[in-house]
Amino acid sequence: MRADNWCDCPRCIRLYEESVNVDMEALDKAYGKVGADEFIEMKEALDRKCCKGYPRDTRREDYEFWIDDTGVFTVSYKTSCSACGFKYEYNESDQAL
């Protein structure tokens, strides 16, 4: 059995959330300390970032698992993200019979 799948990336989600938090803190600190135009620009930039959200369907998954003729169970899993470069791979075999 082999499957290919495109899905959201946990690292991209984390990076996006961290970026939004940084911008929100900067906006809070800027309140009353910068001019109205600059504050509005910061707020609009944050709103655009929030509307855009994190990258979608950037992570590819490839996986398969089987039991061969000798009774060895094998699982093979690979994933990588085209947006942030996240990669993970897991391979394991076990004598099932």
Give the footprint of Zn ion on this chain (CB under 5 A): 9, 11-12, 81, 83-84, 86
Name the residue nearer to Zn ion (CB basis): 8 or 23. Answer: 8
CB of 46 to Zn ion, least distance (A): 21
What is the length of the chain? 97
Q: Which helix (H) or strand (E) holds 43?
A: helix 36-52
Least distance between Zn ion and beta carbon 82 (Å)? 8
Minimum distance, C-beta of residue 62 to Zn ion, in the bound complex (Å): 16
Q: Nearer to Zn ion by C-beta: 63 or 86?
A: 86
φ/ψ of 19, rounded to 5, equals -65, -40
Cβ partners under 8 Å of residue 4, min gap 6: 60, 61, 62
